[in-house]
C-alpha cells in the first residue's frame, strides 16, 4: 500500500534562486504537518481590481485554514514600521501580517463566490520569519505573537499553526473535509512562483540544498546500471546522492549496507537513514562497526586494520547465511577504504560478481594514502565499476569554491552564489591555535550563532577535541556535533563528508607535508557560507602549491583581536 503524505498543490513547486526561504518553510511543513493536511504554495487571488498572493496556504481538515506570508532576511520594527535587512541593505516593507491578512480576506471572499457557499471555517493569517528570532513576550497592536512563526518556532511548526488557528483565527467552525475538497479543485492550476531576494547565509544554504537535490536526476539516469563509482569534487552532493541511492534501493525491498569510514560521517548517515519513513538499510555507519557486528574481534595497529581485519571478515562472510548478506552496498567517501577492505566487503554481498555496488568518492580527498590505492581505476578494486563524474560544486559559495579550486581539479565547476569574501588571518604556525580561538569569539560577536561554527585543525587536536579523546567520550563528542548546540572543535581528517556554515581552518602545521594539499582541500571545502583561514601563508603555499598561494591573495586579511 502506498504511504500517505501531506498533499501539496502543486505536488512539486518550482522554487527559483530567489525562493529559498519559501522552499525551506514549505519543505519543513511538508514533513511536519499531518498526512490529511493540504499545503498549497503561492496561491494567487484576484478579487475585484486587487491582486493578492498567499505564500503558503494550510488547509487542515477538522481544524481550519492558515494563510502564511514568508519573509526571509532579518525583520525588525521601529516605531511601528517594519524593515527587512540582508546583505544588500535595509529597506522599508509592509507588515507581513497586514499582507497576510489582506490576502486571507481576499481568499475568503473569492472562494465563497467560486463555490457559492460562504467560507465560515476558522481562518488564521500568519507570518513566518525563518531567519529572524522574535521574543516570546513580544507584542504589537494588531499582531499577536501567536500569529508569527520565527526561527525557533519552526521546530514545532505544526503545533504552532494549529494553535494559532484554534485561538486566534476568525470564523466559527472547523474545516469540513467535504468543503476542503471543493476548495482543492478550485486551487489546482492557480499557482505560480514569485521571486524574492536571497542574501544572508541561511537563505544561501537553503539555495545550496535546493541545487544539491537536483542531483537526483543522476540517479534516475543511471538506475539501470548496477555497479557505479560516482567521482566528484568536494561539495558536489555525493553524500546526498549516497543517501538517496540507498533509500531508493531500500524502497525496492533490497537488503542494503550503507557504509563510510569516519565516525562523524557514520553517525550523520545513521541519523538521516533513521528518519526514513519506509524501509531502512540493514546496516548504516562505519565499516569497522559492521565488521565488529558480524563477530570479528577488535585488534590493534595499522597492520591489523589494513590486513588482518579484512582477512577475518572474509572468513566470517563465507559463513554468513544468504539472509544476512547484502543485495547492494553503498559506500560514501569510498576513497578512504583500503583495497583489502573492498575485497572483504564484496564477500558480504549475496553475489560478489553481480550484486549492486555504488561508490561515491573524491580521489583528491585521499587524506589517508592507504596502500594499494582504491583510486587506482586501472587495477584497483573499483576498476570495473562504471564511472560517473559529478563536477559541479553546490555546497560552497563561489568565493569559497574559487579559493580551493586549485586543489579540486580542472573539471571542478562552482555553481553557488557569490557569498562573502574568504578571510585570512596571517600569523605564525605556533600562534595559529590561539588566533583561531579568537576568531570564534569575534564571529559570535558579529552575530553568527555558535552552532554555525566549526574550528578544524590540520595537525594537533584542539584541546577540547583532545580532552574528549583522553576521556573516551568520542560518542558524546559526535552527539554534540550532530545536535548543533554549540561550536565544534575537530580535525580535518575526522570532518570529511561533514559541513558547517562557518569553518575556521587552523593551519597549525602538518604531520606529513606530502598530505598537506589533501588536508587543505578537505578543510576549506567544509564551509558553506564563510571560510576563515588561520596560519602562515608561506606554509599554506608550501603545502598547497603556487596556484593556492595565488588564490589566497584574493582573501580579505582579517584581525579578529577584540577592540580595547
350-398 pLDDT, tens per residue? 999 999 999 999 877 765 555 455 555 566 778 889 999 888 887 888 8
Q: How confident is the model at residue 18 (pLDDT cuts 50, 70, 90)?
A: low
pLDDT category at 329 given cuts 50, 70, 90 is very high
> Is residue 211 scored above 60 in pLDDT?
no
Mean pLDDT, the chain, rounded, equals 87
Across 112-141, average pLDDT:
88
Give me the percent of the chain exceeding a pLDDT of 70: 90
Taking 90 as the threshold, does the pLDDT of residue 413 lie above it?
no
pLDDT at residue 119, as a whole number: 87
State mean pLDDT over 171-185: 85
- Taking the C-alpha atoms of residue 60 and residue 278, their distance in angstroms, rounded to an integer, is 24
Q: Binning pLDDT at 50, 70 and 90, where does residue 195 land?
A: very low
Answer yes or no: are the C-beta atoms of 232 and 362 closer than 8 Å.
Answer: yes
C-alpha to C-alpha distance for 521 and 172, rounded to whole angstroms:
60
What string of DSSP letters covers 239-297?
HHHHHHHHHHHHHTT--EEEEES-HHHHHHHHHHHHT-SS---SEEEEHHHHHHHTTPP
Is residue 494 a contact partner of residue 444, using CB atoms and an 8 Å limit?
A: no
Helix or strand run (H / E) with residue 114: helix 96-115
Please compute Rg for the chain using Cα positions: 26
Residue 244 has pLDDT above 70, yes or no: yes
- Partners of 457 in beta bridges: 491, 506
Answer whether 132's CB lies under 8 Å from 75's CB. Answer: yes
Average pLDDT over residues 442-461: 91
Question: Which DSSP category does 530 fall into?
Answer: E
Is the confidence at residue 562, as pLDDT, over 80?
Answer: no
- Model confidence band, residue 3 (pLDDT cutoffs 50, 70, 90): very low
Q: How many other β-carbons are positioned within 10 Å of the β-carbon of residue 520?
A: 25
3-state SS, residue 519: helix
Burial class (CB in 10 A: 0-12, 13-18, 19+), 314: middle
The pair phi, psi for residue 71, each rounded to 5°, is: -125, 115
Q: What are the b/e assignments for 26-52, b being 16+ CB within 10 Å?
A: bbbbbebbeeebbbbbbbebebeeeeb
Compute CA distances 181 → 36, 38, 60, 111, 188, whole Å.
Answer: 11, 10, 11, 12, 11
In tens, the pLDDT along 295-317 reads: 999 888 888 988 899 999 999 99
Contact in structure between 385 and 359 (CB atoms under 8 Å): yes
Residue 85's pLDDT band, with cuts at 50, 70 and 90, is confident
Confidence of residue 278 (pLDDT cuts 50, 70, 90): confident
Half-sphere exposure of 238 (CA within 13 A, CB side): 33
Name the residue with higher pLDDT: 562 or 196.
562
Over residues 12-39, the mean pLDDT reads 86
Q: Which residue, among 282, 280, 307, 310, has the nearest Cα to 296 in the 3D structure?
A: 310
| For range 481-487, the mean pLDDT | 86
Q: Is the predicted pLDDT of residue 539 greater than 50, yes or no? A: yes
pLDDT of residue 252: 94
**Contact (Cβ atoms closer than 8 angstroms) between residue 273 and residue 246:** yes
Question: What average pLDDT does range 227-248 have in this prediction?
Answer: 90
| Nearest-angstrom CA–CA distance, 363 and 62 | 55
Mean pLDDT of 97-109: 92
335-350 pLDDT, tens digit per residue, is 889 889 999 999 999 9
Amino acid at each position: 500500500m502506498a504511504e500517505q503524505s501531506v498533499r501539496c498543490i502543486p505536488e512539486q513547486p518550482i522554487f527559483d534562486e530567489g525562493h529559498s526561504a519559501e522552499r525551506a518553510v514549505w519543505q519543513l511543513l511538508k514533513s511536519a504537518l499531518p498526512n490529511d493536511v493540504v499545503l498549497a504554495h503561492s496561491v494567487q487571488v484576484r478579487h475585484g481590481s486587487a491582486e493578492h498572493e498567499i505564500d503558503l496556504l494550510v488547509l487542515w481538515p477538522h481544524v481550519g485554514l492558515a494563510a502564511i506570508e514568508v519573509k526571509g532576511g532579518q525583520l525588525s520594527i521601529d516605531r511601528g514600521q517594519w524593515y527587512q535587512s540582508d546583505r544588500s541593505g535595509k529597506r522599508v516593507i509592509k507588515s507581513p501580517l497586514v499582507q497576510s491578512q489582506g490576502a486571507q480576506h481576499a481568499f475568503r471572499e473569492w472562494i465563497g463566490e467560486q463555490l457559492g457557499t460562504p467560507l465560515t471555517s476558522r481562518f488564521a493569517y500568519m507570518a513566518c520569519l525563518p531567519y529572524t528570532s522574535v521574543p516570546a513576550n513580544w507584542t504589537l497592536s494588531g499582531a499577536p505573537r501567536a500569529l508569527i512563526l520565527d526561527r525557533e518556532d519552526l521546530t514545532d511548526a505544526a503545533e504552532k499553526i494549529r494553535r494559532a488557528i484554534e485561538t486566534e483565527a476568525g470564523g466559527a467552525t472547523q474545516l469540513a473535509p467535504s468543503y476542503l475538497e471543493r476548495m482543492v479543485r478550485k486551487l489546482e492550476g492557480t499557482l505560480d512562483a514569485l521571486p524574492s531576494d536571497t542574501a544572508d547565509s541561511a537563505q544561501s544554504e537553503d539555495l545550496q540544498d535546493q541545487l544539491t537535490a537536483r542531483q537526483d536526476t543522476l540517479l534516475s539516469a543511471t538506475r539501470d546500471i548496477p555497479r557505479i563509482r560516482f567521482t566528484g569534487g568536494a561539495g558536489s552532493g555525493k553524500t546526498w546522492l549516497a543517501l538517496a541511492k540507498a533509500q531508493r534501493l531500500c524502497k525496492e525491498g533490497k537488503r542494503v549496507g550503507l557504509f563510510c569510514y569516519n565516525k562523524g560521517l557514520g553517525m550523520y548517515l545513521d541519523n538521516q537513514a533513521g528518519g526514513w519513513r519506509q524501509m531502512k538499510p540493514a546496516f548504516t555507519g562505519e565499516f569497522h562497526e559492521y565488521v565488529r557486528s558480524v563477530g570479528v574481534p577488535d585488534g590493534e595497529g595499522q597492520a591489523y586494520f589494513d590486513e588482518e581485519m579484512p582477512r577475518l571478515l572474509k572468513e566470517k562472510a563465507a559463513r554468513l547465511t544468504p539472509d544476512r548478506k547484502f543485495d547492494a552496498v553503498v559506500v560514501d567517501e569510498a576513497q578512504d577504504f583500503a583495497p583489502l577492505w573492498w575485497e572483504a566487503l564484496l564477500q558480504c554481498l549475496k553475489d560478489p560478481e553481480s550484486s549492486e555496488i555504488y561508490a561515491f568518492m573524491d580521489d583528491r580527498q585521499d587524506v589517508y594514502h592507504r596502500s594499494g590505492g582504491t583510486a587506482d581505476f586501472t587495477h584497483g578494486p573499483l576498476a570495473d565499476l562504471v564511472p560517473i563524474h559529478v563536477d559541479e560544486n553546490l555546497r560552497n559559495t563561489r568565493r569559497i569554491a574559487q579559493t580551493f579550486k586549485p586543489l579540486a581539479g580542472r573539471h571542478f565547476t562552482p555553481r553557488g552564489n557569490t557569498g562573502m569574501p574568504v578571510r585570512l588571518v596571517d600569523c605564525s604556525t605556533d600562534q595559529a591555535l590561539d588566533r583561531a580561538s579568537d576568531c570564534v569569539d569575534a564571529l559570535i560577536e558579529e552575530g553568527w550563532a555558535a552552532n554555525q561554527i566549526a574550528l578544524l585543525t590540520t595537525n594537533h587536536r584542539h584541546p577540547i577535541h583532545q580532552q574528549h579523546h583522553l576521556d573516551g567520550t568520542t560518542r558524546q563528542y559526535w552527539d554534540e556535533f550532530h545536535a548543533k548546540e554549540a561550536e565544534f572543535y575537530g580535525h580535518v581528517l575526522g570532518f570529511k563528508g561533514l559541513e558547517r556554515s562557518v569553518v575556521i581552518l587552523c593551519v597549525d602545521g602538518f604531520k606529513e607535508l606530502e598530505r598537506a594539499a589533501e588536508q587543505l582541500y578537505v578543510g576549506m571545502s567544509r564551509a558553506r557560507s564563510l571560510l576563515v583561514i588561520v596560519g602562515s601563508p608561506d606554509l599554506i603555499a608550501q603545502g598547497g602549491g603556487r596556484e593556492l598561494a595565488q588564490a589566497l591573495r584574493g582573501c580579505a586579511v582579517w584581525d579578529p583581536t577584540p577592540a580595547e
